[in-house]
Amino acid sequence: MASAMAEKSRRSLAELLTGTAVLVALAGMLTAAVVGEGRKTDTVGYQLSADFSHIDGLDVGSDVRLAGVTVGTVQSESVNPQTFKAHVVFTVRPDIHLSADTAAIITSDSLLGGKYIALSPGGDDKTLSAGSSISQTQGSISLEQLLSKFIFSVTDTLTRANKDAANPQNGASGTNVP
């Protein structure tokens, strides 16, 4: 009987140790995930800024890309109270020297993907320095805006086609052979 109790006690201890190990492993994974997320906003490189009319879907930590390669991250977003434009501060790797006429465009990975800033360098010999602002920008275009433009375009085309069909003298050459 004493050996049965000792066996039960050992089994309970083994279960307790296994449960503790699982909880420690889960806590470690959670910590790694939180720390890994925080690394996305590294401040390595020099800071630039740009003002956009819309930054829908662009978040702090979003990528800044040049030729499809990630070269920086978005650091902060705010609204300029004088211009009512979105002011975005981002970093660019120190080995990337952008021309002064570089453009910044907010675009997305896919139709429903996350947004990022795409940098498009110009041909100016002067380069942007830390703290510079990019003046040539194009804001975010939402899926709703794209669909609205498409639907309006199709509706307009169909309306014109129906008018032309109803009044053939406006668009047809009207050649009748006697």
* 110 is a domain residue: yes
pLDDT per residue of the chain (178 residues) written in tens, 0 to 9: 666 666 777 777 777 777 776 667 666 665 555 444 444 555 689 999 999 998 988 999 999 999 999 999 999 999 999 999 999 999 999 999 999 999 999 988 876 678 999 999 988 889 999 999 999 988 877 666 667 777 878 887 888 888 877 777 755 544 445 5
Which neighbouring-strand residues pair with 107? 116
* 125 is a domain residue: yes
**Minimal CA–CA distance to 85: which of 116, 49, 121?**
49
* 164 is a domain residue: no
Q: Are 129 and 46 in contact (CB under 8 A)?
A: yes
* 68 is a domain residue: yes
* 113 is a domain residue: yes
The range of the structural domain enclosing residue 81 comes to: 41-144
* 10 is a domain residue: no
* 64 is a domain residue: yes
Query: Could you give the number of structural domains in the chain?
Result: 1
Helices (H) and strands (E) in the chain, counts: 3, 8
**Looking up tokens 């909880």, which residue turns up?**
23
State how far the alpha carbon of 101 is from the alpha carbons of 67, 98, 127, 132, 136, in Å: 16, 8, 8, 11, 7
